[in-house]
Amino acid sequence: MSLAPYKRRGIVSVIGSWTDEHAELAEPLGREIALAGLSLMTGGGPTGVQKAAARGFTSVPKENRKGVSIAVLWGGMSSHSPIPGYPNEYVEMPVFLKVPRAKIGDHKIHSRNHGNEADVVIALPGSSETRDEIEQAVAYEHPTIIHDFWTGRFPTLWDWGDVADAIAYVKAVMRDREKRPEIHALKAANVNVGKTAADLRDEESRRCIEKGLDNERWVKEEEAREKARRDAQDGEEAGGKEAGLRKV
């Protein structure tokens, strides 16, 4: 299944917290992206903003939308995700990456943002991981709009508080893409050496082939991180329930 027809219409990447869904923001945002005729791109994980946004997107019946819910995933040595829980049930088109654990310039290749084909990036509240994703989106020169949670950290970026503001920004970017395609296409992956995002992805692919590297080590580390996130979330929920019992 090719991304080409969806890239022609437009793809919006939504990033944010791995643990908190921020459903009051992510779900209506997902729905509005669907109703705008665009596709949604997330990390496809089983928790947090990525799941809530995809849930909102797919709540719009397929006959009422032109886009799909896309997830960029690690595929390991095969065409399925080796990490439990990925992709979540709201993903309609998984895109599998296999990249080496290395760096080009200041860019960490093990970030799935290197496979980001989105036209616009919308950031919701999150942790240091979301901050890193925002920094990488800016490095790729993706048009990026941040929730006002991040305004102090990224004062030069457009920010939003209401979903309507975020969608207005998306539509403005898409209009600009139609008017100035040659400018829109210049998403620099490494502005210091003048490489485009396409150049960087090609270089990553060549390194994978030439060195025969896989991402098994990364997958094990990600599984450990995912387990730690879930354990921490379970601990917080258990603590909340215990506090509630003491009040009673």
Q: How far apart, in whole angstroms, are the C-alpha atoms of residue 169 and residue 150?
A: 17
- Answer whether CATH 1.20.1250.20 is correct for domain 4-247: no
Q: What is the pLDDT of residue 239?
A: 66
Could you give phi then psi for residue 118, rounded to 5 degrees?
-75, 155
| pLDDT tens for each residue of 14-29 | 999 999 999 999 999 9
Residue 204 banded pLDDT, cuts 50, 70, 90: low
Domain ranges for the chain? 4-247
Please state the pTM of the whole predicted model. Answer: 0.72
Q: What is the pLDDT of residue 24?
A: 98
pLDDT of 174 > 50? The answer is: yes
Q: Could you count the other beta carbons within 10 Å of the beta carbon of residue 127?
A: 14
